[in-house]
């Protein structure tokens, strides 16, 4: 068989898991989180330019597989992502992902990248950006309830972006809490391991829930949450999966990414379909006020939205340019005559 050397038009930058980890260490994890948050904030401030649709989900008894597309009119992006809580028992990740950016004018891809690592970073960066915006002024302590794969990223993003100094950890699996505490030991955060969720929220101004079970659950009961806190609810992210008691939702002011998606997937699926919520982009642009009083309970019912992934993909595209942190991947057929794809195939036969 004749080897046809790929042209430049055939090659697409591909960022592998190894390259992504190299990029993170090259940039530095705190700066990577801050950079992602800056890109997410910038895109939220031009929210109205984007195509917006709830993600396309394929549900099963074991989990969900989703496609998350969007475009700003110049660049198109999508992410493939799954969520399978049972996977950890088999030594597999609960969440895996990859994503792509493409040029709208030509439809040609301009970046293909792993997004398992990147999704963890963008989720944490989004949480911390919103907490910086909505949490009580001077917040220093976060309760991290659910100490799985996302917990360290959430904790470090809250330190780098929202300024916390202390994290209180709880998980129903003590081994998960010990893992998280061990990983955070040398980061500069004060870490407290707790034996109950109630203990974890003592003295915390930010309460983050990030549990994995695909089930209606009440991680925070109504009597656990007092006035003047910010709740970062990120575990409820598909139909039938919740974390926050309806009573808390009724007492708090709720902020969301995209209501048509959150009302299906978020904790507010427990409320009436017309329950008032505020879109977080409106707060970031100054159109709507966020926290209005010290005693207010603010709730970020976060399910993850495609624009956040688009922002993360843009950040990676910009940061890997002119570096060695990608492979040129022979992804696109590029015949000499664009109308003669068959001829290209025949010339490759030796």
| Residue 205 CB contacts under 8 Å (≥ 6 apart), including other chains | 135, 136, 139, 140, 141, 142, 228, 229, 230
Place of tokens 């917006």: 52
CB atoms under 10 Å from CB of 84, counted, come to 19
Quote the CA–CA distance of 25 and 30 in Å, as a whole number.
10
Lateral strand order in the sheet of 278-279: 190-193, 166-170, 141-145, 206-209, 230-233, 298-301, 253-256, 278-279
Catalytic residues: 237
Lookup: tokens for 330: 């022979």
Lookup: tokens for 291: 């926290």
Rounded (5°) CA angle 260-121-46:
50
Lookup: tokens for 40: 């997410």
Q: What Cα–Cα distance (Å) separates residue 171 from each residue in 75, 186, 208? A: 40, 21, 12
Report the Cα 299 to chain-centroid distance in Å. Answer: 17
Lateral strand order in the sheet of 11-15: 56-59, 64-71, 75-83, 97-103, 109-114, 11-15, 327-330
Characterize the bridge pairing of strands 109-114 and 206-209.
unpaired
User: Residue 59 phi/psi, 5° resolution?
Assistant: -95, 145
């Amino acid at each position: 068989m004749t080897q046809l050397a790929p042209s430049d038009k055939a090659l697409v930058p591909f960022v592998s898991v190894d390259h992504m980890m190299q990029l993170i260490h090259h940039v530095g994890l705190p700066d990577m989180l801050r950079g992602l948050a800056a890109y997410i904030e910038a895109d939220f401030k031009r929210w109205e330019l984007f195509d917006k649709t709830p993600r396309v989900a394929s549900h099963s008894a074991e989990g969900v597989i989703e496609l998350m597309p969007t475009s700003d009119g110049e660049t198109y992006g999508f992410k493939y992502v799954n969520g399978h809580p049972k996977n950890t028992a088999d030594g597999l990740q609960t969440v895996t992902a990859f994503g792509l950016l493409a040029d709208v004018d030509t439809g040609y891809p301009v970046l293909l990248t792993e997004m398992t690592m990147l999704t963890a970073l963008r989720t944490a960066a989004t949480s911390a950006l919103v907490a910086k915006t909505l949490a009580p002024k001077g917040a220093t302590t976060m309760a991290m309830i659910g100490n799985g794969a996302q917990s360290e990223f959430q904790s470090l993003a809250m330190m780098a972006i929202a300024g916390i100094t202390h994290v209180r950890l709880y998980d129903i699996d003590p081994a998960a809490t010990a893992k998280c505490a061990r990983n955070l030991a040398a980061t500069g955060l004060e870490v407290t391991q707790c034996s109950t969720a109630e203990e974890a929220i003592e003295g915390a101004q930010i309460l983050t829930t990030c549990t994995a079970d695909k089930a209606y659950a009440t991680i925070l009961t109504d009597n656990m949450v007092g006035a003047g806190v910010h709740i970062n609810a990120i575990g409820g992210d598909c139909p039938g999966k919740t974390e926050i008691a309806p009573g808390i939702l009724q007492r708090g002011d709720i902020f969301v990414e995209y209501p048509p998606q959150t009302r299906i997937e978020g904790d507010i699926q427990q409320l009436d379909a017309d329950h008032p919520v505020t879109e977080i982009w409106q707060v970031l642009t100054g159109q709507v006020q966020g926290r209005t009083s010290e005693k207010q309970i603010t709730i970020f019912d976060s399910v993850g939205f495609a624009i956040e992934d688009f922002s993360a993909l843009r950040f990676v595209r910009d940061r890997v340019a002119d570096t060695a942190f990608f492979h040129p991947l022979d992804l696109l057929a590029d015949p000499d005559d664009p109308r003669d794809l068959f001829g290209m195939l025949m010339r490759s036969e030796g």
